[in-house]
Structure 1
Amino acid sequence: METNQVFEKQVEKKVEKYVKKGVKILAIIVLGGILFLLANYVLMRLWNWLMPDLFGAGTVTYWQALGIFVLAKLLFGFGGGGSKGKGKSSHKKKLRSSHKCATWRRDFDEWKHYDQYWREEGEEAFKAYVEKIKNENHGTTKEE
């Protein structure tokens, strides 16, 4: 008798677990559907509020807004994202971790001294360079 009761309790726990899981899945599906319909309604209202005034476009119905929404998703994607597998790494992580940009970062850090250099030496060096160019150009024009 005790084995029957233990078995019944195990079965009851499993059924309860699956029923809870089923209710959660159903609730997620219903909530997702409601959010989708609400997003479509918001799209319709935004379109009808902005597009006629800004671009002279006509107003759209709910079903036309749904068509625009689906078309936009097909053209521009569904957001992608999602989680990657544990073995896979994203392109951004590879780019961040690459050492190819290390020299660029180091060079960029040196630019903080640019203003001070320009005040102390750069303006004089630039004027000297311009004079040198002028002299070279005058020299070539005289020879011709």
Structure 2
Amino acid sequence: MEQYIKHKIRSKNIGTIIGWVIFGIFAAIALAILLGYGIMWLWNWLMPELFGLATIGYWQAIGLFALSKILIGSIGCGSSSGSSRSKKNKPSSNKDDMNCNDFSKWKQYDKFWKEEGESAFNSYLNKDSVDKEQSEK
């Protein structure tokens, strides 16, 4: 994994990396603000008229979102906390059905690249020589 990260940032200068980090921080803050106001606007538009409930403020909307995350589960990775527990007990029928935080395949990346990856990559680039070797066999 370290080699992959080094490869990705090798051509970038420190100013570009710092710029992307700052941009990411501002984007996360803007998304949090928009999420809070979006929840507040939807609540205040629908709930008082439909169910006769009181209107809420920004921080109440953020609290409502946090409460829903705790009770219902996560947004990312396509599964909630309750369904992921039941999936652990069942064998997975789909190979692509993995936890989004599963980086177990990357643990062997450096070892593979040192042993086989570079030669496999070079043989792929020299496809004609590989085809000749296969026809001789």
Instruction: Please tell me the TM-score bracket, short chain as reference.
Output: 0.3 to 0.5
Structure number with the bigger relative contact order (C-alpha 8 A, sep ≥ 6) is 2
Pair member with larger Rg: 1
TM-score, normalised with respect to structure 2? 0.47
TM-score, normalised with respect to structure 1? 0.45
Question: Counting helix residues as a fraction of each chain, which structure ranks higher?
Answer: 1
